[in-house]
Amino acid sequence: MSEQHSKARHRRSRTALAVGVPLALTASGVLAYGTDFGLLGSGAQQQASAATAAAPAWATATADGFASVNSLGQNGTYGGRDGQIVTVRTQADLEKYATAAEPYVIVVAGTINMNPVGKEIKVQSDKTIVGSGTSGHIVGGGFFLGSGVHNVIIRNLTIRDSYQGVWNDKDHDFDAIQMDGAHHVWIDHNDLRHMADGLIDVRKDSTNVTVSWNKLSQNNKTFGIGWTENVKTDITVHHNWFRETEQRNPSTDNAAHAHLYNNFLEDAAGTGIKSSYGNYSRGKTKMILENSYFQGMNNPVTKDGTATVVQRGNVFSGTSGRNESGGTAFDPKTYYAYTLDAAANVPSLLKSGAGPRSSIGTTTAAASTKAATTLTVAKDGSGQYTTVQAAVNAVPANNASRVVIAVKPGTYRELVKVPANKPHVTIQGTGSSRKDTVIVYNNAAGTPKPGGGTYGTGGSATVAVEADDFQARNLTINNDFDEKANQNLSGHQAVALRTAADKVFLDGVIVGGDQDTLLVDTAAKDKLGRVYMRNSYVVGNVDFIFGRATAVIDRSVITLKKRWDGTSAGYVTAPSTAANRKGILIANSTVNGDVSDRSFYLGRPWHAGGDASLDPQTTVRNTTLSAAIRTTPWTDMSGFSWKDDRFAEYKNTGAGAGSASSDRPQLTDAQATGQEIADWLGDWTPTAS
């Protein structure tokens, strides 16, 4: 089809059935769903258990993007969280609860074959429809959201195979998800493929829609937005993987605000499906297109004469044909907060994170089998506690099950310590962005303590975690110690987060400071302490990821920051790893920042206390390095040579990457197989809970 296809080719029969289903995900972005999916999926008796404050996190999640905006009498999108949780395995039960007037969280725990083929269940307001692990399949049909339907979440489902054998099918309007005049809808973490018509259709002034973390594939008319003369639709499309889809990826017609970011559009070579075009802005659409990755696409970005496309930070690899931009649009941050991933990381990020997520392992002890207790924190007094520490204090000593401390948006200037006798604690921001909830303080190593002495480096931490099986999600932890104003103070190390525990999971957070931002420690030199950080940001300048823990930083952004005096010089890591232990692994990430070229080292060996028995280790692999990284990226520290310890790279890219030399060790392919994330984490599979 020509890129200049007419509006008539996009229009649909007014009498045809339609499909629409919205989904919810935690605001952190790529949240793995955890064991609660598995528990519900395996429990046939849980047909109508009441949703309470202790409900699984996915049952109470709220949307990000335009679906989070307060409008049309609906403040955000939270689906059926106020209703019962029911598990369904038949079409009759799915229809019963999806079409009910009451709110429900509906867990699809098996494959449902729609009868007749093409059936589209008419979902009503206030519903969450979610797959149990990867077992929730809707085959041969889908969902429809009609005029006025609102507050719907659809997530973690596979919706597939209504295809009737005709590629450009004009007789079978069998979509996966369609909405006509709906609002506040979230479609998240689904696998949508091989339908007779569209995978997602957002039509007839539907608005306040967010589409995130989905895999869309094997389809012709993939994702259409508009079919209206009005200019009302506000839509966010982020972190979706379009693979082997011919057209409408998406096509956006007369959208008031269309924000597309961190999507991966892939036309694989040697297949029978050839892309016609990628992102299309039509009519009076105002589109912002940011940090997306286009691989092999024909006509990757197109616009007509009346539409707007503002492009920022996109990557085009092997593309051909039209790649257009023009006009002025809008600033998405005036509507909601969001954080961009680097475009170069998008393919790997989405290949591992898009689509339905299974239960990825179990946590230790009874925390994995008992419902979590939720404690709420709000500065304005609307929660159970007004400080985070007060909620931590309320956790029973030696608690056997998960306690979630849900922190409402705000800035909490306080010190937080989770002691060793309070395991299985999650601190989670409840805002639409990790920037909405901030825990901050300003102690430094040399700051005087009220009782005498100084805090020291470890004691300066804004948040200190000494309890095993700790998780932090969707928040910011900062140390805002002002070095410039405290030049007379000895000891400028100022830790934002200190972990001294095992099985610490940091998911979708920002950890910010200057010197010694993130201290990954262990309870003792002979104790194992594992930390897994993903989809997060670490900000600093000197030794700002340091310590003796076995720590993985995966799919994250490491942001280099200038010193207090405006100069650029620093060190990313300072491991103090014990011999025969794994140290710091940075994988699938990006290292960048507004600093001078060739001014930062990747690391140096910290032999804490002059301990020559230590064997510090940092490996940086499959990571994009900016030009800020020195051509000789490792250096000595306190008389210890980095060449006597374990520092290496593997298949890094970007202006700061370099080839193997005596000053720049590179792992061989064989060595790299023993330095994977799983080698660091051992028998622990981090599970969001």
| Catalytic residue annotation | 516, 543
User: From the centroid of its chain, how far is CA 627?
Assistant: 26
**DSSP three-state, residue 165:** coil
Residue 258's CB is within 10 A of a number of other CB atoms, namely 30
Radius of gyration of the chain (CA): 25
Which amino acid does the sequence have at 45?
Q
Dist CA 534 CA 543 (whole Å): 20
Tell me if residue 366 falls in helix, strand or coil. helix
Taking the chain, what is the end-to-end CA distance rounded to the nearest angstrom? 46
List alpha helices for 395-476, DSSP H: 456-459
Q: Specify the amino acid at residue 225.
A: I
Nearest to 589, CA basis, from 293, 344, 263: 344
Compute the CA torsion angle 327, 333, 338, 344 (nearest 10 deg): 30
**Which residue spans within 313-409 are E strands per DSSP?**
315-317, 373-377, 403-407
Nearest to 593 by CA among 512, 530, 650, 526: 512
Q: How is residue 644 written in tokens?
A: 């006597």
List the structure tokens of 84: 């019962």
C-alpha–C-alpha distance, residues 105 and 90, integer Å = 15
- Under 8 Å between Cβ of 568 and 598: no
Residue whose C-alpha is closest to residue 187's, from 289, 301, 65, 101? 65
How many CA atoms does the CB half-sphere of 261 hold within 13 Å? 24
Cα separation of 312 and 326, whole Å?
A: 12
**Are the CB atoms for 250 and 225 separated by under 8 Å?**
yes
Residue type, 390: A
DSSP 21: -
Tell the burial category of 501 from Cβ atoms under 10 Å away from its Cβ (0-12, 13-18, 19+): buried
Rounded to whole angstroms, how far apart are CA atoms 182 and 200? 13
SS3 (DSSP) at 101: coil
Separation between Cα atoms, residue 394 and residue 558, nearest integer Å: 34
Q: What is the DSSP letter of 323?
A: B
Nearest Cα to 405, choosing from 418, 420, 419?
418
Task: Say how far apart CA 158 and CA 135 lie, in whole Å.
Answer: 8
Structure-token match 């010694």, residue found: 516
- In whole angstroms, give the CA distance from residue 384 to residue 405: 10
Contact 380, 409 (CB under 8 A): no
Strand 49-50 vs strand 84-88: parallel, antiparallel, or unpaired? Answer: antiparallel
Residue 377 DSSP SS3: strand
